[in-house]
Homo-oligomer: A and B are copies of this chain.
Amino acid sequence: MKKIKILLSAALMAAAAQVSAQYSSTPPEVSPMPMKPEMTEIWEPEVPVVTPGKKLGDAPSDAIILFDGSNLDQWVSSKDPSQPAPWTIVGDHMEVKPGSGDIKTKMKFGDCQLHLEFSAPDKVESVSQGRGNSGVFFQDRYELQVLDSYQNRTYRNGQAGSIYKDHAPLVNPMRDPLSWNVYDVVYTAPRFGTDGQVDYPARITVFLNGVLVQNNVSITGITEYIGLHMYPPAHGDDVIHLQDHGNKTQFRNIWIRPL
């Protein structure tokens, strides 16, 4: 409860009379005061230069080459990380060796731009999820589905370009099993609070064969084949892994730019 009682409007008039030049209550005619062009120029720090790839899809100068066809040195077995990646190199690409298990990068990543090309097995067998099934897991947990979705109906949130059982792709721009498909991905890792709970979910933008299929969608949680997706406790950067789902899916030209 305030003790001093004043007549407010009188006080205001008094205030107006004694006001110094320091403050003005009259709005300027132009609002806000005009600037000069240079005032919204920001020069520092200089933006770092990167040499782009020769053509679209080629690795730029600051990319880490995860696979260029020559060897699997950047990968290990997911089952036993002390062992080399058990998949096969065929020509310029690698091929899943069914039953050998997933493979994963030696390096760990968080936010990144990833380029990866994949092709379904040349021999088309089975249907739906049985055809050319694999997957790219970001931070070892969040799956961008790999599937032969060319003329192959399955559930929309499980086809190529989907965040598996989370977000269906906007469109289906798949090529046939004898052609190569291209993923260009911008992945933003989830942020966790000091309490170990997720603060900001992971986000992902995906182009499949140059066509936008995911536009900065929020990933709901860790990928699960069964049940609701929820965030695991806080985790840091982690490996990218490629899934052995029993099909001879092929991969080539994989590079990544940590962001």
Listed in ascending order, the chain A residues whose CB lies under 8 Å from chain B are 2-6, 8-9, 11-12, 14-16, 18-20, 22-25, 27-28, 31-53, 55-58, 60, 62, 110-111, 113, 115, 119, 122-131, 150-159, 161, 165, 168-179, 182, 184, 186, 188, 191, 193-194, 199-200, 203, 205, 207-212, 215-216, 218, 224-228, 257, 259
> Per a CB cutoff under 8 Å, which of B172, B176, B226 touches A50?
B172
Q: Copies per complex?
A: 4
> Per a CB cutoff under 8 Å, which of B18, B19, B157, B210 touches A60?
B210
> Per a CB cutoff under 8 Å, which of B58, B126, B194, B199 touches A23?
B126
State A22–B56 Cα separation when bound (angstroms): 36
Query: Can you list the 8 inter-chain pairs with the closest CB atoms, starting with the nearest?
Result: A52-B209, A41-B155, A56-B56, A27-B43, A33-B38, A11-B124, A23-B130, A23-B128
Q: Is the CB of B44 within 8 A of A210?
A: no
Cβ contacts under 8 Å, A129 to chain B: 23
> Per a CB cutoff under 8 Å, which of B19, B38, B154, B205 touches A25?
B154
State A181–B172 Cα separation when bound (angstroms): 27
Q: Is the CB of A211 within 8 A of B178?
A: no
Q: Is the CB of B15 within 8 A of A125?
A: yes
Chain B residue with minimal CB distance to A175? B52
A165 to chain B, nearest CB (A): 5
Chain B residue with minimal CB distance to A209? B52
Q: Is the CB of A123 within 8 A of B42?
A: no
> Per a CB cutoff under 8 Å, which of B5, B38, B130, B182 touches A22?
B130
State A128–B257 Cα separation when bound (angstroms): 28
A246 to chain B, nearest CB (A): 10
